[in-house]
Chains A and B, each alone.
Chain A
């Protein structure tokens, strides 16, 4: 029925396996290490792929391959494309009038004074356009730091480190909000509390239940209308009595949210897969 493609089976994937068992759905496990994407000998018997690869690049190739042969993949290539590059995500948010953090991209260190002026002064945050778990984010408190970090980034090997995606630093409380969206549904909403300005749970942020108010619900409903259907983790900042959507995440990690809220996100994932299969 469903094939789960993975690289490492984490607690999240084990929850999904458990849900499939409980709901009596046939779920076949396939390790990406065992895959050969050979278009001349294409064979596949299941109706849908749940792609849970840890590597964004590997996951993308797999999704592209199976979609070419008209196999449904969750998340779709369209969702991957929207989420994996932070600049593309930001452009999407601004185009669709979703409140977001002021951002820009530049390519040369000569621009730093103009950039700090446009973003209304320091602190700023410099992020790799591809990245996750709060890695390689830099909070820039002044011009000297900006110069130094740009020089370091220019010496990193991947070409995408020469794309200087820069955002305003948002003075938020010691927490972010993480919303999980599956299909058309808001499935969960939690705070990630942390004393560090980077509050990813992968870096020790603690999860607490958050009640969605009307304003945030409206923002989410608006977003749901605009995004291609899929499984998303939405990062939101509280800012000046309102909200800013920071980013959209693909291949969502939910084990801690599931434990704290009691919301069975893995059941929701399996049900969403079934819905997609039956929509044929």
Chain B
């Protein structure tokens, strides 16, 4: 089990396996969209997901 804290509400988020970099997820507590900014060793740093850019999408 791995974990990190939500950068917005501070609650703990658990991971059963180490996530990839730039993986999207939702905080179960505040429901904000987050992204894994970096994964170094077992340490996971989360950040708020980036805003949608003009040329994004299919």
A-side interface residues toward B, CB under 8 Å? 6-11, 14, 29, 31, 33-34, 54-57, 130-133, 135, 158, 202, 233, 249-253
Contacts and interface: CB of A to CB of B under 8 A. Distances in A.
Contact of B55 (A8, A11, A31, A56): A56
Interface residues of B, number: 15
Interface string B33-58: 00100000000000001101111111
B22 A7 contact: yes
23 contacts: A7-B22, A8-B23, A8-B24, A8-B35, A8-B50, A9-B20, A9-B23, A31-B20, A31-B21, A33-B21, A33-B22, A54-B53, A54-B56, A54-B57, A56-B55, A57-B55, A130-B54, A132-B56, A133-B56, A135-B54, A135-B57, A249-B58, A253-B57
A249 B57 CA distance: 9
Contacts of B57: 54, 56, 131-133, 135, 202, 253
Given A249-B58, A253-B58, A8 B22 contact: yes
A29 B53 CA distance: 22
Contact of B22 (A31, A158, A233): A31
A68 B35 CA distance: 32
Enumerate the 5 nearest inter-chain pairs by beta-carbon distance, A residue then B residue, closest first: A132-B57, A9-B23, A249-B58, A133-B57, A54-B56
B53 A9 contact: no
